[in-house]
Structure 1
Amino acid sequence: MNEKSEKVLEQYDIGIRRMTRGRGGIILSTDKGYKLFIQCEKADKYYERENRITSLLSKVGYSCTDTYMRNNEGGLISEDEDGRKYILKNWYDAKESSVRDEDDMCRAVVAMAYMHMALRQITPQMLYADNEASQGAGIIYTGNGVYTKDNKNTDNNANYNANIKDSENIKDNDYPDNRNGQDIRDNNYTDSIRNNKNMEDNDYIDNIRNNKNSQNNNISNNIYTEKGIYIGNDLYTADYQYSENNIYTKNNTAKRKQGKPSELAACQKKKETDLRSVYSKHTRELKKAYNYLKQKKSRQLFEQMAYKNIEAFYEEACRACERLMSSTFNERLERAAQSMELSHGSYTYHNVLIDGKDTFVVNFDRYKNECQINDLYQFIRKVMEKYNWESRVFYRLVDEYDRICPLSDEEMELLMVLLSYPEKFWKIINQYINANKSWIPDKNVEKLRKVIDQNSRKRELIDKICCVW
């Protein structure tokens, strides 16, 4: 940090005690807690967008995120004398979760489930309309792990820390490798999760779900009609109007304008999320790479390995895409779009911080309107790659998530279809196609070899769980 950037910190009402480099910026120990000071590398709108979602999460009670701190003038972004821009985030004295620690991964997936419950409280009009009019549904999730339906933290409420202790007490032998030979065709896997006697009941979670005072605890509470979406007692349609005085109106109630009129209207009219189009695009890119490698005469080691295996992986991609495009998932993906279901968009173990009993989720800059199962899929896929697709680890992660946010049969099937897609192979090949092909790093060869070697283990796990094909 240079002298000029240090002067920017004078624009904030904080007293700095210590500064250390980390997380792409400077971590500050101040009289108001830990802060993260970062130089802006994107347009202002990206930071404003992230601030909007973290602020809304805080309003609905989910406070264990990296919210923004405004400067003395109330601005989100501060500048130095040379015009360089900076932001300041509220941060934590916590370590990044370790993928080598199963307990850390279980805590991360539980934190994801609670995050998803909080994101479900954020309605389209909260995201695009006046933030001052946004009201939370009363769920409180604080830094020390308390998750309640009140605006107070009480000792009588069950908390997230107890859930973590439950997961830590589960021994490895509670997850037999073959689930006693269960087959999803004969025994519903999600039912077996919920009835697992090795998992301790969490009465408080049931209380949350059965709380009659909660309007929007689950997406399923929303009612979809030809007129629009009923969330609680309110009807939301695409018929939003803006007056000449920039007043946002709905049902003759005036509110200050926030965001573009087209944003809210577009989200109401959206037929489904982008999940299907993303994987269709990936599959086309695999086909393009296959054609390129096929006509290439002289091949390096990486290209030889890729060409030898790309046809099989391409066929897997086509089968997964065909299943994803089926009508089975129409309702779930349409519901995700129409209710403006939000996902983190980049939920990896790098973005989960752990400090003792506390767990924090950071970096919401890639949040998007997408089925939340995509978050779970991306997280499980990356963890399973580190554990060589060991079935015991998979069962444990899914059980932990399902205990907080029950998975429907449709969602479980969607998860398995996504896992069956060769995304890691596509990522490596696509990176190769878009890079300089004259020299291929040895690490890319090792990555490709690992994906190829692990694929049979991955297929065995998927076929055993749900026999998709």
Structure 2
Amino acid sequence: MNDRNDEVLEQYDIKICNTYRARGSYILETNRGIKLYKTFEGSKNRIEFENKVKEHIFMQGYSNIDLFVRNKNGELVTEDTQGNKYILKNWFLGEECNLRSSGDILLAAANLAQIHNLMSNVSLTPEEKKYNRFYYLPDLYDKHNRELKRVRAYIREKTQKNEFETCYLSCYQEFYEQGLKAIGLLQASNFEQLLEASTNSTQICHGNYTYHNILMMKNGVATTNFDKVCLGVQMLDLYLFIRKVMEKNDWTIELGEMIIKEYQKNKPLSEEDFKMLYILLLYPEKFWKITNYYFNGKKSWIPQKNIQKLISIQQQNAVKNEFLDWLNEKFL
């Protein structure tokens, strides 16, 4: 580590025994356990909110969480003489959740239900509630649908179309209709009541509960990287986890059922929860992401991997629809 890092770490009450590089950060072996040290580009208010949520979880007995370490001045963010910002937090020795392992997947599902039970009735100020909400979903979906239409119109006007654009037009209608159906179901649902209930009971979502942020250890599961934590309907977390798992496992119904059953052992789901889960899974989020990446990127050369992603989600859509049909028949 360089002198700049030494300058920052001297501001913490720790003794470092060993250091090694990790993805965009350093892992430190210290007299106070394993820590992770990295640069920070967020705001003070945002990290204080994240820390409040983590402390709330920790105080209820869930210790496998990456709590921030305050420096000698009691601050969460430490600056060097050049104004660069850094954070230090607890860390864990473990492997990322393996989305090809049903054992890992079910442990992660149970872990999500556990932290969801703990992430309610968090004491928040009116300002924290106002500025840390998830996007209002009907408006977000409407915005995404308009972006899909705009990109389709742009591609159709081109006289010469590349492989990506030809493939895009061939599958556009199928995904766009799913987007329209999702927003129609959302507008007809009890989303407003669910959102109001989650706000009143200050229910918190992790915001990015994916395999990168779930560490499988010998003595349990650690949940990390709460930088997208927000006030909102907790089905958003379960939806994201299920979607990521199912995309890697060709939307196998048996696996999806196992995830739901494992989650419900710790946190039962209502019919309204299942409606919300269905709508979230129905919306063609990955198609929109590929669309957004294309429109904001260099159009003269499309990476082959993006073409493959588009082909893959088109090929998977039939089995995804089978899973959605099963979910509808089983729980709705």
Q: What is the Cα deviation at residue 262 of structure 1?
A: 4.7
1:1-80 equivalent positions in 2, closer than 5 A: 1-80=1-80
1:237-386 equivalent positions in 2, closer than 5 A: 262-263=127-128, 266=130, 274-386=136-248
> 2:291 aligns to what SS in structure 1?
helix
Matching residue of 2:124: 127
Alignment pair present for 1:439 and 2:306: no
Q: Aligned partners of 1:60 and 1:357: how far apart in 2? A: 18
Matching residue of 2:278: 416
> 2:26 aligns to what SS in structure 1?
strand
Q: Aligned partners of 1:365 and 1:86: how far apart in 2? A: 14
Unaligned runs of 5+ in 2: none
Q: Decide whether the 8 Å contact of 2:121 with 2:202 is kept in 1.
A: no
Matching residue of 1:98: 98
Q: Decide whether the 8 Å contact of 2:205 with 2:232 is kept in 1.
A: yes
Matching residue of 1:201: none
Q: What is the Cα deviation at residue 330 of structure 1?
A: 3.7
Q: Decide whether the 8 Å contact of 1:290 with 1:311 is kept in 2.
A: no
- Identity over the aligned pairs, expressed in percent? 39
Q: Decide whether the 8 Å contact of 1:273 with 1:369 is kept in 2.
A: no
Matching residue of 1:161: none
Q: What is the Cα deviation at residue 334 of structure 1?
A: 2.6
Q: Aligned partners of 1:273 and 1:46: how far apart in 2? A: 16
Q: Decide whether the 8 Å contact of 1:97 with 1:353 is kept in 2.
A: yes
Q: What is the Cα deviation at residue 273 of structure 1?
A: 6.8
Q: Decide whether the 8 Å contact of 2:182 with 2:280 is kept in 1.
A: yes
Q: What is the Cα deviation at residue 42 of structure 1?
A: 2.8
Q: Aligned partners of 2:220 and 2:7: how far apart in 1? A: 33
Q: What is the Cα deviation at residue 297 of structure 1?
A: 1.8
Post-superposition Cα deviations, 1:166-214, rounded to whole Å, max 9, x if no partner, equal xxxxxxxxxxxxxxxxxxxxxxxxxxxxxxxxxxxxxxxxxxxxxxxxx
**Which letter does structure 2 place at the counterpart of 1:357?**
N
> 2:71 aligns to what SS in structure 1?
coil
Q: Aligned partners of 1:355 and 1:389: how far apart in 2? A: 27
Post-superposition Cα deviations, 1:279-337, rounded to whole Å, max 9, x if no partner, equal 22222211222222222221100010001110121011101110111044442233223
Aligned residue pairs total 330
> 1:127 aligns to what SS in structure 2?
coil
**Which letter does structure 2 place at the counterpart of 1:283?**
N
- More helix as a share of residues: 2
Cα RMSD after superposing both structures: 2.1
**Which letter does structure 1 place at the counterpart of 2:85?**
K
Matching residue of 2:315: 453
Q: Aligned partners of 1:65 and 1:355: how far apart in 2? A: 12
Where in structure 1 do 4 or more consecutive aligned residues deviate above 4 Å? 261-264
Q: Aligned partners of 1:80 and 1:44: how far apart in 2? A: 16
Matching residue of 1:185: none
Q: Aligned partners of 2:262 and 2:138: how far apart in 1? A: 27
Unaligned runs of 5+ in 1: 129-260
**Which letter does structure 1 place at the counterpart of 2:306?**
N
Post-superposition Cα deviations, 1:99-136, rounded to whole Å, max 9, x if no partner, equal 121111111111110010000131xxx122xxxxxxxx
TM-score (norm 1): 0.67
Asked which structure has the greater CA Rg, the reply is 1
Q: Aligned partners of 2:217 and 2:61: how far apart in 1? A: 20
Alignment pair present for 1:392 and 2:263: no
